Chains A and B, each alone.
Chain A
Amino acid sequence: MEAREDLVESSGFGGTQRTDNWWTHPMVVLVGLSLFVLYGLFRTIYPVFVPEEMAGIYHESLLSPFYSPLLFADQAAHHVVFGQFPEWWPQLLRSPAILILWAPLGLRVTCYYYRKAYYRAFLQDPTACAVSEPRDDYKGETGLLLFQNVHRYFLYLGILFIAMLSFEALRAMFWNVPSGAPFWHGDVQIRVGTLVLMLNVFLLAGYTFGCHSLRYLIGGKKRCFSCPANPHNDEDGGAITKRYSLWKGVSKLNVNHAIWAWFSLFMVAFADFYVWMVSIGVWPDYAVIAF
């Protein structure tokens, strides 16, 4: 006879009676997210150390999503919103990515799917279901992690980014723009780069519009979609409302939120890499359709 807690509860980090490969999933997540973070960090600081034309920020009408919107850039480019960096701006912070990447990063860090992913893979909280953890103390999201509740504000920013990235994908259809002219004066061409940016926006939109907070805000908070008598539903009722349709739409995306999250994460890195490679002449950017 042994103490029950030793025999059954399998205490100690990684202790479990599970016989399946429970460590596979957190391991894949750990590697996948780590690779993205390392690539993202590298691309964020890369423009600080190389000339702007070598940094892979833009190529003619293509603008990498890592630097979009391009608030400041030292060289003239028709993507730039405000022009050159102010002179007082520290040299070590002269990367356009530093100014904007915090917003999509914040959306993903506070995302309900990614929380699960990194709580399991990085914090081992828990590594897998019914597997013992390394730490005894636990506050969940009541202590330091209360900041996760700011997720809906990053969602609002994320929707704004979808609009801006859509604009850049539209602009990537116009090429050979005369100097000083609006972008729509260029030749209309669908290039591979145009399709890459469009697919990137599509996947990011699928991820953003399947957000759990959006699902709640757009209709999930309603107790009832059809009943007028309930005082909690005074503004609409008596019929299934449009909010129900919106809620159902977001719910359909939300079911596969994790898949959208991973595909959009991979695609945003690939879109950046594509623009980088094209801009330094390693890859050609073929025209698929030219008018």
Chain B
Amino acid sequence: MSTETTQTTDEPAATGVEESQATAEDAVSATTMTLEIYRGDDDVGELVEYDVPVEEGMVVLDAIHWIQANEEPELAVRWNCKSGRCGSCSVEIDGMPSLACMKRLSEYDPETPITVTPMATFPVVKDLVPDVSWNYEVNETIEPFSPAEDADFEFYQEDVERAREFRKCIECFLCQDVCHVLREHDKKESYAGPRYLVRSAGLHFHPEDTADRTEWMKDDAGVGFCNITRCCSDVCPEDIEITDNAIIPQKERVVDEYYDPLRRLRSWLSGLW
């Protein structure tokens, strides 16, 4: 990157040495950004500053890789595809859950350090690497896809599209991280989190699925703990409408089964004869 300097006639002319020094300093400040990265484990740690030379198009993960390669080989970060497909590099950048590979450095103020910390909802293994194994334990509790024996797998594109939205999930767990029920109140024993309400919706809205997960939804997944503040939808890198398309329909299904007095009366009456 070149830096152009302009002199006015009011200013004394700089010597050649001074001019070249000023130009080099300008070039460094214009192409360097500071990252404050969490270094530590689940109990203690610190935010360590690193100055990273910036090139056009760099993302936050590139900056972390530069630090690994040039200053801190032991800096731990989880990553894989570097193209927003694998969901591995989930961190918090300036406090917002984000994929490090999808956030360009040019989005941030170059004069202010960028803070990069691990996902707050999960225990930290080391530096930016969280232990997300709890999520897989929740996943095990969901009844899998259950088609009828004589299922007909021909259906219209419109039906495919509705279920497909939920299958875009890359399991980055940003929604689990930002969900205040898990993050702030640590209700991991009572609430499955948005990721698994999405998975349940993906199964339920498969046209040939026959399983009834309503009881699981109410009692095990704890859908009632969600107060639909939509942070999960806001951070989803796949733009899944988690709240509108996955959570609210399942809340309504629970209302159907448990909290709609007229439906319960109709079920009770139909059971009489």
Chain A residues proximal to chain B, CB less than 8 Å: 1-4, 7-10, 16-20, 112, 115-116, 119-120, 125-126, 129-130, 132-133, 136, 138-142, 145-146, 149-152, 212-213, 215-217, 220-221, 223-233, 239-240, 244, 254-255
B45: interface (CB < 8 Å):
yes
Q: When the two chains form the complex, which single residue of B95, B118, B249 contacts A216, counting CB atoms closer than 8 Å?
A: B249
Chain B residues positioned under 8 Å from A152 (CB to CB): 252, 255, 260
Chain B residues positioned under 8 Å from A136 (CB to CB): 185
Closest A-B pairs by Cβ, 9 of them: A17-B95, A224-B207, A129-B231, A18-B95, A140-B225, A142-B224, A229-B152, A226-B156, A216-B252
B71: interface (CB < 8 Å):
no
Question: A227-B159, A229-B148, A231-B148 are known contacts. Are A130 and B97 too (CB-CB below 8 A)?
Answer: yes
Q: Do B45 and A2 have beta carbons less than 8 Å apart?
A: yes
Q: Do A19 and B227 have beta carbons less than 8 Å apart?
A: no
A-B contact count (CB 8 A): 177
Q: When the two chains form the complex, which single residue of B46, B158, B244 contacts A1, counting CB atoms closer than 8 Å?
A: B46
Q: Do B47 and A231 have beta carbons less than 8 Å apart?
A: no
Q: When the two chains form the complex, which single residue of A139, A150, A212, A230 contacts B210, counting CB atoms closer than 8 Å?
A: A230
Chain B residues positioned under 8 Å from A227 (CB to CB): 152, 154-155, 159, 207-208
Q: Which residues 112-132 of B sit at the A interface, judged by CB distance below 8 A? A: 112, 115, 117-118, 120, 124
Q: Do B229 and A116 have beta carbons less than 8 Å apart?
A: yes
Q: Do A1 and B44 have beta carbons less than 8 Å apart?
A: yes
Which DSSP category, helix, strand, loop or mixed, fits chain A's interface? loop
> Mind listing 19 A-B residue pairs with CB under 8 Å?
A4-B43, A8-B117, A17-B94, A119-B227, A138-B181, A140-B225, A141-B226, A142-B222, A145-B227, A212-B252, A216-B252, A217-B252, A221-B252, A221-B253, A225-B159, A229-B150, A230-B152, A231-B148, A231-B210
Q: Do B96 and A130 have beta carbons less than 8 Å apart?
A: yes
- Chain A residue at minimum C-beta to C-beta distance from B256: A221
| From A126, A130, A136, A145, residue with most partner B Cβ within 10 Å | A130
Chain B residues positioned under 8 Å from A224 (CB to CB): 155, 159, 207-208
Chain B residues positioned under 8 Å from A225 (CB to CB): 156, 158-159
Chain B residues positioned under 8 Å from A217 (CB to CB): 252
Other contacts beyond A3-B43, A230-B208, A244-B158: 16, CB < 8 A:
A1-B45, A7-B40, A9-B120, A17-B115, A17-B117, A129-B231, A133-B180, A138-B187, A141-B225, A216-B248, A216-B252, A217-B252, A225-B156, A225-B159, A227-B154, A232-B210
Q: Do B252 and A213 have beta carbons less than 8 Å apart?
A: yes
Question: A17-B95, A133-B184, A226-B207 are known contacts. Are A116 and B228 too (CB-CB below 8 A)?
Answer: yes
CA distance A283 to B66 in the complex (A): 68
Q: How far is the CB of A113 from chain B (nearest CB, A)?
A: 9
Chain B residues positioned under 8 Å from A221 (CB to CB): 249, 252-253, 256
Chain B residues positioned under 8 Å from A116 (CB to CB): 227-230
Q: Do A230 and B207 have beta carbons less than 8 Å apart?
A: yes
Q: How far is the CB of B108 from chain A (nearest CB, A)?
A: 9
Interface residues on B, range: 35 or more
Question: A138-B184, A140-B181, A223-B204 are known contacts. Are A230 and B156 too (CB-CB below 8 A)?
Answer: no
Question: A140-B225, A141-B225 are known contacts. Are A212 and B248 too (CB-CB below 8 A)?
Answer: yes
Chain B residues positioned under 8 Å from A1 (CB to CB): 40, 44-46
B69: interface (CB < 8 Å):
no
CA distance A239 to B156 in the complex (A): 8
B92: interface (CB < 8 Å):
yes
Q: How far is the CB of B262 from chain A (nearest CB, A)?
A: 8
Chain A residues positioned under 8 Å from B151 (CB to CB): 229-230
Q: When the two chains form the complex, which single residue of A142, A223, A228, A240 contacts B225, counting CB atoms closer than 8 Å?
A: A142
Chain A residues positioned under 8 Å from B118 (CB to CB): 8
B259: interface (CB < 8 Å):
yes
Q: When the two chains form the complex, which single residue of A3, A141, A213 contacts B44, counting CB atoms closer than 8 Å?
A: A3
Q: How far is the CB of A124 from chain B (nearest CB, A)?
A: 10
Q: How far is the CB of A11 from chain B (nearest CB, A)?
A: 9
Chain A residues positioned under 8 Å from B155 (CB to CB): 224, 226-227
CA distance A145 to B229 in the complex (A): 14
Chain A residues positioned under 8 Å from B41 (CB to CB): 4
- Chain A residue at minimum C-beta to C-beta distance from B93: A17
